[in-house]
Amino acid sequence: MAEPVVLAALMLDAAIGWPERLYRHAGHPVGAFARVIAWGARRWNRPAYSARRRLAGGALTLLLVMGVAVAAAWAAEVAMRHFFGSFSWFAIALLAFPAIAQRSLFEHARPVLTALNAGDLSQARQAVGKIVGRDTANLDHAGISRAAIESLAESLCDGVVAPLFWLMVLGLPGVWAFKATSTADSLIGHKEDPWGYFGRVAARTDDIANFIPARITGILICLAGWGGWQTMWRDHANHASPNAGWPEAAMAGALGVWLAGPASYDGETYPKPVIGAGGQACAADLRRAIGIYIRACALVWMAAFAGLIGGGWAWPV
């Protein structure tokens, strides 16, 4: 029987997550990645450098942060197996679960819904601003609901499905290599200045890492939402990302609303195609989206359990 690392990591995340007190005192492992990336940006992303040099610097920065993640995770996994023997699976799960964000996503989406139900748009804007990158100061009820739903759908891939996918495929080094890549993409993988060429390799690598997980996430949302297949297939390409459109279109179809559309970043509005069809999103739709999210996570648990009792079918975790 395969070691229950994936299932144990899911249970640990659901039970304790990453407590705020622990975050305040010790930070989070991705904070170390952010510091490495910031160092690389200061060294290799200078305005005077040519586009080719900035591109190479971004690639070196990504290789550096991924190398740190893989080396540390590999050494930790080897050490756990050496010192704990047949019980090493639990120690490895303890080292893997901080890479999973299923509880965190729920805990960040729920305050948005609570504020919307209370009619407190100011509080709702503040809450949704913690989970989206767009400007939130002028969002109305529908805009807040739409932003939260989009983030929940996309983050189901980035924060749950993709980390678990790489944990199953490549073990502890795989999940933390993915988190390093995801962190690099979120920090420097932007077309806007000052990143541009410097963040291009990080963005493309993140696209590759999420290619399969994003499509799995879309399927999970359709299964959990009892529909959305046609919208997912029709509208997934309406998103600028080759991956994010799959879960967002699936969620739009399952809810029967439209998502995406124009959005403001740093005071400038960017035109974006609409994903889905139907009415404006509202608090009731966000509540339903949270329910779909919970059921999709339950399907992930079921898949992890099925892999366990089936003897495992990937990395020996």
DSSP assignment of 208-253, as one string?
HHHHHHHHHHHHHHHHHHT--HHHHHHHGGGSSSTTTHHHHHHHHH
Name the phi and psi angles at 202, rounded to 5.
-60, -40
Q: Helix, strand or coil for residue 128?
A: helix
For 260, counting Cβ atoms within 10 Å of its Cβ (0-12 exposed, 13-18 middle, 19+ buried), the class is buried
User: Which pTM value belongs to this model?
Assistant: 0.92
Residue of 290, 314, 65, 46 lying closest to 169 (CA atoms)? 314
Which segments of the chain have a pLDDT < 50? 1, 313-317
Contact (CB, 8 A) for 90 and 6: no
* pLDDT score, position 234: 96
pLDDT in tens, 15-43: 998 877 776 776 788 999 999 999 999 99
* pLDDT score, position 311: 55
Distances (CA, A) of 275 to 136, 138, 249, 292, 298: 20, 21, 6, 18, 26
Q: For the chain, what is the radius of gyration of the CA atoms?
A: 20
* pLDDT score, position 272: 87
pLDDT in tens, 49-101: 999 999 999 999 999 999 999 999 999 999 998 898 888 899 999 999 999 99
* pLDDT score, position 309: 65
* pLDDT score, position 308: 67
